[in-house]
Amino acid sequence: MINKRSLWFLTLFSLILVLSVYYVTMPSELLLGNNSNYLETNQSEENDNPDANTNTTEEPTVQIEESDILTALRVEANDQMLSEMDELKAILTNEDSTVDEKNNAFEKMKELNITRGEEEALEKKIQDEFQLQAFVKIDGDQIRVVVASDEHDETLANNIMRSIQSNYDKKMYISVKFQK
């Protein structure tokens, strides 16, 4: 008779066996991350297509790396948000909390999520419009922007402020700081 321990062992062993067989049978191009064959195949298909536009010019790709300061700011902001969320979750799950406390905690959690979404949207907007990596922190009506750039340009800072303010109906206090 098979007991629970033996059944779990057989189940996990079977899963490992299936995954290892899948790994061994995968094409080596996928494992190496080299998609040159895929690109060559697609390019030859484009060349074979008579309807393809032959006057296309390739746009240069811009590769942007995130600076260490932006990474540190994001990690700090995420840690702070996670600690606040944990505190709010503790209030929500606490049996001794009143209904008003739970409602306030839930509303605060919704507000944190909305604020984080706005911050990410503003970061994406700055990257799309100005091709700059940025960190955005919203605290009420104050928005702090840290841009990864060696160039400290007042015109660029004003343009970033105007671009961000265009997303809001009420007056926001926006500060832009350039750091590398």
In the chain, the number of structural domains is 2
Domain that holds residue 131: 68-179
Residues 43 and 78 in one domain: no
Residues 78 and 38 in one domain: no
pLDDT exceeding 70 applies to what percent of the chain? 77
Residues 73 and 42 in one domain: no
Buried b (16+ CB within 10 A) or exposed e, 95-132: eeeeeeeeeebeeebeeeeeeeeebeebbebbeeeeeb
* 55 within a domain of the structure (yes/no): no
For residue range 4-30, what is the model confidence (pLDDT) as tens digits?
888 888 888 888 888 888 777 877 666
Q: Residue 146 forms beta bridges with which residues?
A: 135, 177
* 15 within a domain of the structure (yes/no): yes
Determine contact, residues 95/33, Cβ cutoff 8 Å.
no
* 14 within a domain of the structure (yes/no): yes
What's CA 64's distance to the chain center, in Å?
Answer: 15
Residues 103 and 137 in one domain: yes
CA distance 88 to 86: 5
Residues 11 and 84 in one domain: no
Enter the pTM of the model.
0.60
Buried b (16+ CB within 10 A) or exposed e, 23-51: eeeeeeeeeeeeeeeeeeeeeeeeeeeee
For residue range 37-84, what is the model confidence (pLDDT) as tens digits?
444 554 554 455 555 444 555 666 655 455 688 888 889 988 998 999
Residues 85 and 157 in one domain: yes
